[in-house]
Each structure stands twice: as structure tokens, then as C-alpha cells.
Amino acid sequence: METEKVKSLMSLGSLFALVGLILLFLSNHFGTALADSWLMGQGEYADSFMYQYKVQAHSNNFLVCGSILFWSWSPDDSFRLL
């Protein structure tokens, strides 16, 4: 029973780390994609400063989420939960 909990916790932690790494490395791509969709919704006129701000803000959001997911799990913490 205890080994099953450890295995499931290790796999969950590995999944969090993998998602965190993906978000870390692709944060700029995701941020640009969201800013591009915002830009398409603006119609004919959009301020370039606002576009740059949106790219930076969305990229930072993905970077922070990826960092939290990647660093939130460690093997030492998993054994405290048992």
C-alpha cells in the first residue's frame, strides 16, 4: 500500500515537472500567441506599446506558472505526506 502511494506521488510529481518545463521553455511562444489573438480582436487600430505589454505580461505569466509547477515538487516533500 505504501509503495503504491509513493509510486503514484512520484508519477504525479514527474508530470508536474514535465508540464512546468514545457511552460518554462515555451512561455514566449504561448505569450506571443495570446497577444496575437488579442491583436486580431482589436480590428484596424492597436497600439504597438500595448501589444508589447501583452506579449511580456502573458510570457511572464507562463514563466511563473511553469516555475511554480517545476519547483513545487521535490522527493523530500513526497515522503512527508505519507
Confidence at residue 69, expressed as pLDDT on a 0 to 100 scale: 86
Distance from the Cα of residue 33 to its chain's centroid: 14
pLDDT of residue 11: 85
Between CA 38 and CA 50 the distance in angstroms is 10
Q: Higher confidence at residue 48 or residue 10?
A: 48
| Nearest partner of 73 among 28, 14, 27, judged by Cα | 14
How do residues 13-41 score in pLDDT, each as one tens digit? Answer: 888 888 999 999 999 999 999 999 999 99
> Sorting pLDDT into bands at 50, 70 and 90, what band is 82?
very low
The pTM of the full predicted model, rounded to 2 decimals, is: 0.76
Tell me the per-residue pLDDT of 35-75, one tens digit each, with 9 for 90 and over: 999 999 998 788 899 999 999 999 999 999 998 888 876 65
